[in-house]
């Protein structure tokens, strides 16, 4: 599958993968900062997200192969891979499937373990939007805000709202496929091999996605992994504390 991407900057290739219901553009602010440090940042829309193709098939092995195809098509060698949440699991799966291609990995606020489904409220709010009836962005915004009561989540989801035609709105992500595949979003990564690629795990101080127990498992399955905590940030680490995020990753990127 040929993935859509935007490139910001020149220099060492840094592939950035977003999380569930996200898109590459979520990382544009961080990418512009990283570009000043000599990185060519590829902001990728994963399958069924953003402007990339939709498919009824959705799994980490498939997303790993999508990424491999992108690297081949763009003749990118020795990339650094950075993934947030779902994107972080894609990065881990890629490192297992294609050992030796990436020179560094950055996994943001996710561990390799299984996570039970926990997006039911978001899915219900998204499905409640009937685009046969809705005609204004403000109507969708109000519906999401009334259902979710979290402004950051509402604004995050609204980035996916676009005009299909002059009088019809739609989501950029494939809501039906993601709903059917929501169990697989939490899939554990294979733990029968050790990843030797230098890896940095970044977690938010207020997030519970990477626990002390996860750190023990990470040390078992990554030979050179380290974990750094960004203060004053939850799961959307890069958006909630961009300065702290950059301070956490730049030493690793430049080492």
- Three-class secondary structure of residue 229 per DSSP: strand
Q: Which helix (H) or strand (E) holds 162?
A: strand 161-165
Residue 235 designated active-site: yes
Whether 85 sits among the annotated catalytic residues: the reply is yes
Among 25, 56, 84, 55, smallest CA distance to 203 is for 84
Q: Can 119 be counted among the known catalytic residues?
A: no
Which residue is associated with the tokens 């299984």?
A: 114
CA-nearest of 85, 161, 84 to 118 is: 85
Half-sphere exposure of 123 (CA within 13 A, CB side): 15
SS3 label, residue 253: helix
**Cβ neighbours of residue 105 under 8 Å, at least 6 residues apart?**
80, 81, 82, 91, 92, 95, 195, 197, 198, 199, 200
Please tell me which residue in 57, 73, 142, 176 is annotated as part of the active site: 176
> Active-site positions?
85, 176, 235
């Amino acid at each position: 599958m040929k993935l859509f991407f935007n490139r910001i900057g020149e220099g060492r290739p840094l592939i950035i993968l977003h999380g569930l219901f996200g898109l590459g553009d979520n990382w544009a602010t961080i990418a512009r900062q990283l570009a000043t440090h000599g990185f060519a940042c590829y902001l990728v829309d994963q399958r069924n997200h953003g402007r990339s193709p939709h498919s009824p098939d959705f799994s980490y092995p498939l997303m790993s192969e999508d990424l491999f195809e992108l690297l081949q098509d763009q003749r990118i060698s020795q990339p650094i891979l950075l993934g947030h949440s779902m994107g972080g699991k894609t990065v881990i799966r890629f490192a297992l499937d294609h050992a030796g291609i990436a020179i560094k990995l950055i996994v943001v606020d996710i561990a390799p373990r299984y996570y039970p489904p926990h997006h039911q409220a978001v899915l219900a709010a998204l499905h409640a939007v009937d685009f046969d009836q809705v005609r204004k962005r403000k109507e969708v915004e109000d519906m999401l805000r009334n259902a979710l009561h979290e402004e950051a989540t509402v604004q995050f989801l609204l980035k996916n709202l676009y005009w299909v035609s002059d009088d019809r709105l739609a989501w950029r992500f494939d809501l039906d496929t993601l709903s059917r595949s929501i169990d697989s979003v939490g899939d554990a990564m294979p733990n029968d091999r050790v990843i030797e690629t230098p890896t940095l795990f970044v977690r938010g101080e207020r997030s519970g996605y990477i626990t002390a127990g996860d750190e023990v498992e990470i040390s078992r399955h990554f030979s050179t992994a380290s974990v750094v905590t960004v203060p004053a940030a939850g799961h959307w680490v890069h958006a909630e504390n961009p300065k702290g995020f950059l301070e956490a990753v730049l030493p690793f990127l430049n080492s």
